[in-house]
Structure 1
């Protein structure tokens, strides 16, 4: 593949996969298609895509299982696809590490817009921005999406990282869930405030609640990063 951003399209319906790829390639992306769960996991490891579009219902491993396997070794952004009428647990998908989801049938242009929005949120900050935040026992580096905690590196999926960085970038400032949803997921995201709660829960599971600084719940309002 070239130096263009790479997108892995995973769907057992070859017609849908080819259609998505066609639209993405018109927008300047390189694409690779996979038609079952095992092939998808293999391709993520081999081609290291910049984003994965992942159908929920797949032969072999379903979308949830693929997401779980991918998250063991990669923080690549994932947009899940689900057919209208299929059982789709959005909270479970988010807990497993999906970044966004769309319901079929969907407008292909909207999917392309979602792809652009997700990739745009992962672009490095411009030079001169404050890329590194430091607190006792905690360093958050936006340049390479790394978190050092008590001297050791921690793995954070992109959305968890961005939420942590944004809150830590504004210490003691209280944000509503709606504000965080807008800032981290963007206006294109169609979701509810449970999305924020799920990600805060996952961040807290990785950072000790005994530390001096952390994400605090402000009841009936939202969250802030502050001293406990």
Structure 2
């Protein structure tokens, strides 16, 4: 579990980001007050900091400076302040990335993992040494099972990719449609999604009737485990 400390006084945004990141095995603890956050960093271990710049009682740039001086933790600045000077100053102080608001939570998740791989080489090695049955290559639009390429249609690739990225978490039908560039209401109304899921099972399971990887969670959706 990746542990993130977020210093953000917009509680609604903090809750949205926390819920989104949770599905990727990222646990977020939010601190509305920067002084409380700095105190907590002395007592708890976090893998990364997400820091807003406009905070009550203390400017975010000052918080960034103190974190860099006292702790060895990577920092992503998440701010609505558009002044390029703030961005330059934050990076000069030692922040690892600067993400201007508003942004897609998916971009935040990718940046978190990218920074952690760069910051923690041992984590990168652990990830590389873990042998997965299924390997997703989004750039090439390919999925391998035990080193062998799966022959998938565009819709099958899209859905199986989503399952792999959210391994271990329940993915609802609504999640699939919301994250799909191919599927639309026609698929939902005609029941074609169930047909695609069945085709995927026939391509990845030894026994599609007793799946080892792609499980149906009654009334909730699907869970992919490898």
Structure 2 match to 1:57: 54
1:36 Cα shift? 2.0
- Structure 1 unpaired stretches of 5+: 128-228
Compared with structure 1, are the counterparts of its residues 121 and 14 closer, same or farther at alpha carbon in structure 2 (3 Å cutoff)? same
Shift, 1:72, TM fit:
2.2
Offset at residue 86 of structure 1 (A): 5.3
Paired residues for 1:3-14 under 5 Å: 4-14=1-11
When residues 59 and 42 of structure 1 are mapped into structure 2, their CA distance, relative to the original with a 3 A threshold, is same
| 1:110 aligns to 2:107 (yes or no) | yes
Q: Using a 3 Å threshold, how does the CA distance of structure 1 residues 84 and 13 change in structure 2: closer, same or farther?
A: same
Is the contact made by 1:40 and 1:66 (CA closer than 8 Å) also made in structure 2? no
Q: Which residue of 1 aligns with 2:80?
A: 83
Counterpart CA distance in 2 for 1:78 and 1:53 is 6
Task: Name whichever of 88-97 and 57-66 sits farther off.
Answer: 88-97
1:160-213 CA distance string (max 9 Å, x none): xxxxxxxxxxxxxxxxxxxxxxxxxxxxxxxxxxxxxxxxxxxxxxxxxxxxxx
**Aligned-residue CA RMSD in angstroms?**
1.8
Match of residue 97 from structure 1? 94
**1:85 CA displacement:** 3.9
Aligned-pair CA distance for 1:6: 0.8
How far apart are 1:88 and its partner, in Å? 4.7
Larger strand proportion of the pair: 1
1:138 aligned partner: none
Which has a greater percent of helix? 2
Deviation at 1:87, TM superposition (A): 6.3
Flag the structure with larger Rg.
2
CA shift in 2, pair 1:43/1:81, >3 Å:
same
The answer as to whether partners of 1:12 and 1:34 remain within 8 angstroms in 2 is yes
1:44 aligns with 2:41: yes
Change (3 A) 1:45 1:88: farther
Q: Select 1:25's aligned residue among 19, 22, 34.
A: 22
SS at match of 1:89: helix
Structure 2 segments unaligned to the other structure (5+ residues): 127-226
Structure 2 SS opposite 1:106? coil
Structure 2 residue corresponding to 1:123, chosen from 92, 117, 120? 120
CA distance in 2, matches of 1:63, 1:111: 19
Structure-2 separation of matches of 1:51 and 1:108: 16
Quick check: 1:54–1:81 contact (8 Å CA) kept in 2? Answer: yes
Deviation, 1:95, is 1.7
Normalising by structure 1, report the TM-score.
0.51
- The CA deviation at 1:107 is 0.6
Q: TM-score, normalised by structure 2?
A: 0.51
